[in-house]
Chain A
Amino acid sequence: MALSPDNEHSVPHGHTLYLAVAGLGDQDRLALTTAVKLLAHDGKPFALLEAQPRRAHLLVLDADHREGREALAAARPGQVKLLLAAEARIGRNLIAVRKPVDIGRFRDLLGRLYEKMAAQLSRQDAPARPAAATPVDVFRTLLDARHQRRRLVLEVAGAGSAWIDGEAGSVTSTLDTAALHRLLTRPAGAFTVREPAPGERAPAGEVQVTSLSTLLWDAALACSGGRLLPGHDTETPVRLKAWPNFTRHAFHPDHLKLAAALARAPHTLAGLAAATGVPLATTIDFHNAAFAVGLLERAGDDAPAAAPPAPPPSRRGLLARIARRLSLRR
């Protein structure tokens, strides 16, 4: 099966693939769960999502059961569907299998699906965008300044400089706001970073003073390129302590989904990407930015809580139409 390009559900090897089930009889469900246990031994872990089937990587449905047909109708176009049916069916991202399906057939099908989806995400998982970051990128420099409460001077030859005060959490710059933000994506060598000289002070006169957090946020999004900060991983649950100030920060619309999901319960980054349907690279960029400005923390041993039930389809449609009507310019 060729997965369509808008498929958002692939997972890298070693990661859990979330699947949801609808309309399966007891025998089929037993065969499926047994196959899933066997696949875990094969290094292809699956987890069953009990709620919000639209958020699963993979749907396993019985087309001859009302519940299965309803789930099929409600599925996202890019969602992969394994359809158990008495008759052959054809559809986008849909694999139809004649019933009955035994443990071996489930194991074979799911195993092959895992391979395809993992391979696809391996490509997607590579830095999603060309890394704008320099070997010593601005983001890491700003983050170090904040964590170590250091003062640093960023200088762009012939253009101006920015005085970073990690203690005060401020950036005083002779560059205008646009130039300061362009600095975030400058190639290596376009700027220098140095410690202030003894007695050196922040520039005065016509300067822009901005919050270090604001610049850190923007730098994280500009420089991360889907790569996690050192020391972080996609399998440790994290919790949101507060929402980012989205009216004053640059953001991707998917960041709202990520913040909302994290506000409900701690998630691993892999689980968060799966639960929201947001690409892992975007999820990581958001994580880096939120962590950098102190809005995110590791949740320790807290197990991610169960996701709340999804709004009914009629309400989902209404919310989508309101979002379209109030489309954002950013």
Chain B
Amino acid sequence: MLAATEKIIFTGPVGAGKTTAIGAIADTPPVGTDVPCTDGAWALKSTTTVAMDYAYLLLDDGTRVHLYGTPGQERFDFMWSILARGGIGLVLLVNCDHPDPVAQMEFYLDAFADFIRETGVVIGLTRSDLAATVPLEAFQARLLERNQVVPVFEIDARNPEDVKVLIHALLAVLGH
């Protein structure tokens, strides 16, 4: 019998740390589809994910929880709904050194609005330790204006404990 499968979706803009966050908690190194950047994203990183990242968590009963990272570039947004279908919940990562990270957050909340309504979302703010970044309170205030009281935490995507806290918050949102 095939083991049961479930999936958690990681999304966010280019350079937000999706691949890194998945790698921080997965049992397997992320299998990526990274290619050299040929558009404006080259300024942020040398390669980018064009289809998805993939890794999994193996649970004690043999269940695999798939961790999918969506491609960050918006021209691949047709992949997002395909990847999200059947997912448990959404992890949205936003890099705070973006010129307008609050708008980035809103863009992804809107893009995944239906999926979020059916499941849940948590938001991880990466690179918040860099100078002159937008403070956490700005994200919280905008979420409150949108009537969305969702978890939003500062994280280091390389730190497994930070990513685990994010997932635990997602589980709490989902009713665990």
B172 engages A328 (CB within 8 Å): no
A247 engages B162 (CB within 8 Å): yes
B contact residues around A318 at 8 Å (CB):
6, 59, 63, 88
The verdict on B74 contacting chain A, using a C-beta distance below 8 Å, is no
Known: A242-B149, A242-B152, A318-B63. 14 other contacts (CB 8 A): A245-B136, A245-B152, A246-B153, A247-B161, A257-B176, A263-B173, A319-B175, A321-B59, A321-B63, A326-B167, A326-B168, A328-B168, A329-B161, A330-B161
Interface residues of A (CB under 8 A from B): 240-243, 245-248, 253, 256-257, 259-260, 262-263, 308, 310-311, 315-316, 318-330
A242/B60 contact (C-beta < 8 A), A259-B151, A263-B149, A316-B176 known: no
Interface residues of B (CB under 8 A from A): 6, 25, 57-61, 63, 65, 88, 136, 140, 143-144, 149-155, 161-162, 164-169, 171-176
B contact residues around A327 at 8 Å (CB):
164
A246 engages B151 (CB within 8 Å): yes
Number of A-B contacts (CB under 8 A): 103
Q: How far is the CB of A9 from chain B (nearest CB, A)?
A: 19
A contact residues around B136 at 8 Å (CB):
245
A202 to B47, CA, bound (A): 46
A245 to B140, CA, bound (A): 10
A242/B172 contact (C-beta < 8 A), A263-B149, A318-B6, A322-B167 known: no
B contact residues around A248 at 8 Å (CB):
153-154
A241/B144 contact (C-beta < 8 A), A321-B60, A325-B60, A328-B161 known: yes
A contact residues around B153 at 8 Å (CB):
243, 245-248
B144 engages A242 (CB within 8 Å): yes
Could you pull out 13 A-B pairs where Cβ atoms are within 8 angstroms?
Answer: A240-B149, A242-B143, A242-B144, A242-B152, A243-B149, A245-B153, A253-B168, A256-B172, A319-B171, A319-B175, A323-B176, A328-B161, A328-B168
A321 to B59, CA, bound (A): 6
